[in-house]
Amino acid sequence: MHCASLGEFEQGRPLLEEIKKQYPSYKIALSFFSPSGYEVRKNYEAADQVFYLPMDNQLNAKKLVDQLDPSLVIWVKYEYWYYYLQELKNRNIPVLLVSGIFREGQPFFKWYGEIWKKMLSCFQQLFVQDEGSVELLASIGIKENVMIAGDTRFDRVIAIAEKNEPVDHIPAFTNNKKVLVAGSTWDEDEIELLHFVKTRPDIKFIIAPHEVFEDNLQDVKKEFSNAIFYSALAKDNSLGAAAHVLIIDNIGMLAKLYKYADVTLVGGGFGQSGIHNVLEAAVYGKPVVFGPVYEKYAEAIGLVECGGAFSATNPQDLDKLLNRLFNNEAEIKKAGSAARDFVHEHRGATKKILDYIERKRLLTN
């Protein structure tokens, strides 16, 4: 299984773990492009090998495929490597794309996109998230091996929520107060949120910055008065009750933190890169708030349309929205229920892909 980064790994993870369970005789190799994926998951227990995918060239592709001799290769969402895909196709090794999503602006659909279309021809099956992707692929003649399976991230966040694992020390901080959890925040998100934090001493704020290197964590702590790090709270629970803001100075905890919120804010939407994983918050039945840059994210659009999420455009708009939610318990409950229902209605992508693998006998016990 190849994943560009940590987000794609979380997307592919439910499928990988089900394969591990159903086909225990197979060894699993997991590759990454980004350090943010590899460094966090290099010791991932369900994989027998975890490594960076070597640079895409003919020699590397031949050497790696020789070494692994895979029965099946799974590509998660995107990031297409020409020589690897060609090598796999030449050897008749089945390659599946899972949770794929396609947009008009991508090179596949441009006049210069011939080499990109050639890469798509290397996949035995393309499992895509939506009807729009099916229509775009059909416009370039790719029809027979395309199936809407949905997004495996829905299955992943449901699995996390169903485990319901507590996070140590958080109750010592929240102290039965109303709580806002802001996850995967960048500078722009923190600046937008700052005024609201200052005006609502009655609310507890948990902020999990996207970047957890020391300089950035110290900068975030300076921005928010009466803030403590999670590492300090873990050493001394008594610090929690008096603190106004808790800054999460580690990786891997966020998906379990959202359940402590009354309202959630997911970062990235106030910058140009776009929002992070809104499903991790929505699955707990919490209203989700984010900035205006979310038009490329089908799940965010769906949450807004069903009433489970809200977008703000500037600090004043954000203040007004958050005050309205925190001052109206009935609206929080209604929006939270809509968010949870949306997630559960979209589960099942993992099963569709596994059914295909079994039906085509791509792996056998």
CATH of the domain at 176: 3.40.50.2000
340 and 355 belong to one structural domain = no
Which pLDDT belongs to residue 364? Answer: 84
- Of 17-21, 126-130, 266-270, 295-299, least confident by mean pLDDT is 295-299
130 and 240 belong to one structural domain = no
What is the Cα Rg of the chain in Å? 22
Which pLDDT belongs to residue 297? Answer: 87
Which residues, 6 or more positions from 250, have their beta carbon under 8 angstroms from its beta carbon? Answer: 212, 230, 231
By the 8 A CB rule, do 48 and 29 touch? yes
215 and 336 belong to one structural domain = yes
- The answer to whether residue 156 is domain-embedded is no
Which pLDDT belongs to residue 7? Answer: 84
- The answer to whether residue 155 is domain-embedded is no
**Residue with the two structure tokens 């949120």:** 193
Which pLDDT belongs to residue 78? Answer: 85
Summarize pLDDT for 330-339 with one digit per residue, the tens: 999 999 999 9
- The answer to whether residue 60 is domain-embedded is yes
Summarize pLDDT for 76-106 with one digit per residue, the tens: 998 899 999 999 999 999 999 999 999 898 9
170 and 243 belong to one structural domain = yes
49 and 60 belong to one structural domain = yes
Burial 206-219 (b: 16+ CB within 10 A, else e): bbbbbeeeeeebee
94 and 112 belong to one structural domain = yes
pLDDT at 232 over 90: yes
Kindly report the three-state secondary structure assignment for every residue of the chain.
CEECCHHHHHHHHHHHHHHHHHCCCCCCEEEECCHHHHHHHCCCCCCCEEEECCCCCHHHHHHHHHHHCCCCEEEECCCCCHHHHHHHHHCCCCEEEEEECCCCCCHHHCCCCHHHHHHHCCCCEEEECCHHHHHHHHHCCCCCCEEECCCHHHHHHHHHHHHCCCCCCHHHHHCCCEEEEEEEECHHHHHHHHHHHHHCCCEEEEEEECCCCHHHHHHHHHHCCCEEEHHHHHHCHHHCCCCCEEECCCCCCHHHHHHHCCEEEECCCCCCCCCCCCHHHHCCCCCEEECCCCCCCHHHHHHHHHCCEEECCCHHHHHHHHHHHHCCHHHHHHHHHHHHHHHHHCCCHHHHHHHHHHHCCCCCC
169 and 294 belong to one structural domain = yes
- The answer to whether residue 31 is domain-embedded is yes
64 and 89 belong to one structural domain = yes
Q: pTM for this one?
A: 0.87
Summarize pLDDT for 131-173 with one digit per residue, the tens: 999 999 999 999 999 999 999 999 999 999 999 999 999 999 9
pLDDT at 365 over 70: no
192 and 331 belong to one structural domain = yes
Sorting pLDDT into bands at 50, 70 and 90, what band is 229?
very high
What's the structural domain count of the chain?
2
Q: What is the mean pLDDT of residues 280-291?
A: 97
179 and 224 belong to one structural domain = yes
Sorting pLDDT into bands at 50, 70 and 90, what band is 50?
very high
Which pLDDT belongs to residue 6? Answer: 87
Q: What is the mean pLDDT of the chain?
A: 95
pLDDT at 251 over 90: no
pLDDT at 272 over 90: no
Which pLDDT belongs to residue 177? Answer: 96
Q: What is the mean pLDDT of residues 50-65?
A: 97
Summarize pLDDT for 2-16 with one digit per residue, the tens: 999 988 998 999 999
- The answer to whether residue 66 is domain-embedded is yes
Q: What is the CATH number of the domain that holds 45?
A: 3.40.50.11720
Which pLDDT belongs to residue 190? Answer: 95
Summarize pLDDT for 316-362 with one digit per residue, the tens: 999 999 999 999 999 999 999 999 999 999 999 999 999 999 999 99
- The answer to whether residue 365 is domain-embedded is no
108 and 11 belong to one structural domain = yes
Summarize pLDDT for 36-45 with one digit per residue, the tens: 889 989 999 9
- The answer to whether residue 38 is domain-embedded is yes
41 and 187 belong to one structural domain = no
Record the tokens describing residue 254, joined without a space: 């966020």
- The answer to whether residue 157 is domain-embedded is no
Nearest to 246 by CA among 157, 161, 314, 177: 177
Q: What is the mean pLDDT of residues 277-301?
A: 94
Which pLDDT belongs to residue 349? Answer: 96
Which pLDDT belongs to residue 68? Answer: 97
pLDDT at 277 over 80: yes
Rounded distance between C-alpha atoms, residue 237 and residue 255, angstroms: 22
Which pLDDT belongs to residue 87? Answer: 97
What is the domain extent for residue 14?
2-150+348-359
Nearest to 73 by CA among 57, 54, 86, 63: 86
